[in-house]
């Protein structure tokens, strides 16, 4: 069951697939350790996702070699997928580093195009370090993304935010926002109302943050909010993905 991603000319499933676990298993906030999946596991998962109507893949340069693996293993036609990546954060040698300068953003997008083996990126989001307002007002990050959008490298731009003030400010310049929303952290609820007025695409992250509720309760809350288009679920377990799509479709 597809849904239009706000004013973007994109239709996504109610569940999107987060791909941190495709490429990185160090310094990640998951309750249990995990091995990086084999190529076969990724291909099978992506094929299953496609069959379930999950077409948006959320990745980032900071997710280890997630972009490269998607580029190598993506089944089907490129236009069947919505590739959403990020810029501003790199992860190497066990450390994250942030650079929101025009040169860094330009280089990062060029690298993502190469890694993902594509000539356009559907969505590129600023990968915030927590200083949302500083990135928006003191750097060239958004102006650079706008230029790359005009050039045709990117279709839609936005930000993965870490603060309510940042989310509100980013609405002014974003086609798509990625926000935290779950039963324990409902701070972005008012952002959704503002986003709905602007018809901004809304992707949710950290939907299951608490772990105290069931997946069904968490998804019912998150996807039950007006203005929310898709919840990004990070998994390498096809049973988990299927279950979440089933819950989402029943909301």
The residues assigned a catalytic role are 63
Q: Which two tokens stand for residue 105?
A: 């953003």
Contacts of 97 (CB under 8 A, 6+ apart): 89, 90, 91
d(C-alpha 97, C-alpha 203), whole Å: 24
Residue 95's H or E segment, with its range, is strand 95-98
Instruction: Please identify which residue in the block is written with the tokens 């919840």.
Output: 231
Rounded (5°) CA angle 202-207-213: 150
**Could you give phi then psi for residue 8, rounded to 5 degrees?**
-75, 145
* Residue 130: φ, ψ to 5°: 110, -25
Q: Is the four-CA dihedral 206, 6, 69, 102 of positive or negative sign?
A: negative
Q: Is the distance from CB of 206 to CB of 233 less than 8 angstroms?
A: no
Evaluate whether 109 touches 153 at the Cβ level (below 8 Å): yes
Query: What's the rounded Cα separation, in Å, for the pair 29 and 32?
Result: 9
Q: With contact defined as beta carbons under 8 Å apart, do 53 and 1 qualify?
A: yes
């Amino acid at each position: 069951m597809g849904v239009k991603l706000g004013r973007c000319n994109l239709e996504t499933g109610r569940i999107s697939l987060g791909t941190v676990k495709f490429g990185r298993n160090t310094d990640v906030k998951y309750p249990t350790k995990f091995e990086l999946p084999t190529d076969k596991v990724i291909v099978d998962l992506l094929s299953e996702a496609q069959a379930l109507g999950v077409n948006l893949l959320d990745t980032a340069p900071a997710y280890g070699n997630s972009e490269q693996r998607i580029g190598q293993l993506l089944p089907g036609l490129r236009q069947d997928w919505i590739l959403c990546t990020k810029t501003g954060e790199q992860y190497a040698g066990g450390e994250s580093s942030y650079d929101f300068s025009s040169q860094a953003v330009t280089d990062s997008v060029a690298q993502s195009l190469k890694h993902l083996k594509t000539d356009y990126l559907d969505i590129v989001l600023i990968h915030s370090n927590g200083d949302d307002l500083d990135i928006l007002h003191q750097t060239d990050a958004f102006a650079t993304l706008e230029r790359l959008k005009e050039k045709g490298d990117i279709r839609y731009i936005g930000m993965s935010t870490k603060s309510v003030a940042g989310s509100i400010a980013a609405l002014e310049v974003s086609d798509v926002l990625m926000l935290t929303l779950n039963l324990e952290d409902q701070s972005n609820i008012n952002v959704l109302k503002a986003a709905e007025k602007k018809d901004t695409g809304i992707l949710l992250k950290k939907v299951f943050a608490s772990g105290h509720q069931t997946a069904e309760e968490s998804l019912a809350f998150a996807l039950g909010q007006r203005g929310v288009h898709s919840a990004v679920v990070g998994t390498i377990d096809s049973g988990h993905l299927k279950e979440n799509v089933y819950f989402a479709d029943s909301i």
